[in-house]
């Protein structure tokens, strides 16, 4: 005859203390994971915002550069603040062929005409433009006055900011 010597246990589940302890450990793990996931989502949002600003800025500079390549070289004068002045207007131009780029009060980069002194055109080529300038290089002197620089800074509400610069030659492309 075989006798089973194991003690008989009356417990058939988990005790209340074990259940509370398991839930407390699970809560700590979930809280830690929540923080990591939130950091990841915030980084993704910031990256997406920076990418959008870079895309808009590059699009605007490429559009400006394409126009500059197709114009004959000419002597450039310092333009009015926040505009390119008559840099992209061929000699003696009138009407829509007298292209100018400017930043309006809504922080948009506008492609308009030189006759539009208030920058109220409707051809928006970039949004969120916090700064725009067209400058002549000071180190070139009178050697080549068809060389210019375009600086554009874009910023969004999430404190993402990007600054892009293009140095170009009218009729000759990028430098």
Classify residue 80: in a domain, yes or no: yes
Classify residue 67: in a domain, yes or no: yes
What CA–CA distance (Å, rounded) separates 20 from 106? Answer: 57
pLDDT of the residue at 22: 93
Decide if 64 contacts 101 (C-beta within 8 A). yes
Classify residue 26: in a domain, yes or no: no
Structural domain including 106 reads 31-174
pLDDT of the residue at 136: 83
Classify residue 52: in a domain, yes or no: yes
Answering whether pTM is above 0.75, one says: no
Classify residue 79: in a domain, yes or no: yes
- Strand runs (DSSP E) across 59-155, as ranges? 99-103, 109-113, 123-126, 129-135, 147-155
What CA–CA distance (Å, rounded) separates 1 from 68? Answer: 105
Classify residue 72: in a domain, yes or no: yes
Beta pairing class for 173-174 and 161-169: antiparallel
Chunked mean pLDDT (size 10), the chain, 175 residues: 62 84 93 89 82 91 88 82 87 77 93 88 90 81 70 88 88 55
């Amino acid at each position: 005859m075989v006798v089973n010597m194991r003690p008989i246990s009356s417990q058939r589940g988990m005790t209340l203390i074990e259940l509370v302890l398991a839930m407390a450990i699970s809560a700590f793990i979930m809280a830690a994971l929540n923080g990591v996931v939130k950091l990841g989502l915030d980084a993704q949002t910031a990256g997406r915002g920076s990418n959008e600003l870079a895309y808009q800025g590059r699009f605007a500079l490429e559009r400006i550069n394409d126009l500059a390549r197709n114009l004959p070289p000419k002597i450039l004068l310092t333009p009015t603040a926040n505009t390119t002045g008559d840099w992209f207007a061929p000699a003696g131009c009138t009407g829509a062929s007298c292209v100018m780029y400017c930043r309006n009060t809504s922080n948009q980069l506008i492609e308009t005409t030189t006759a539009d002194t208030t920058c109220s055109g409707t051809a928006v080529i970039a949004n969120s433009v916090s700064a725009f300038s067209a400058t002549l290089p000071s180190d070139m002197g009178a050697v080549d006055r068809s060389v210019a620089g375009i600086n554009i800074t874009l910023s969004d509400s999430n404190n993402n900011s990007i600054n892009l610069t293009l140095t170009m030659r009218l009729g000759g492309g990028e430098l």
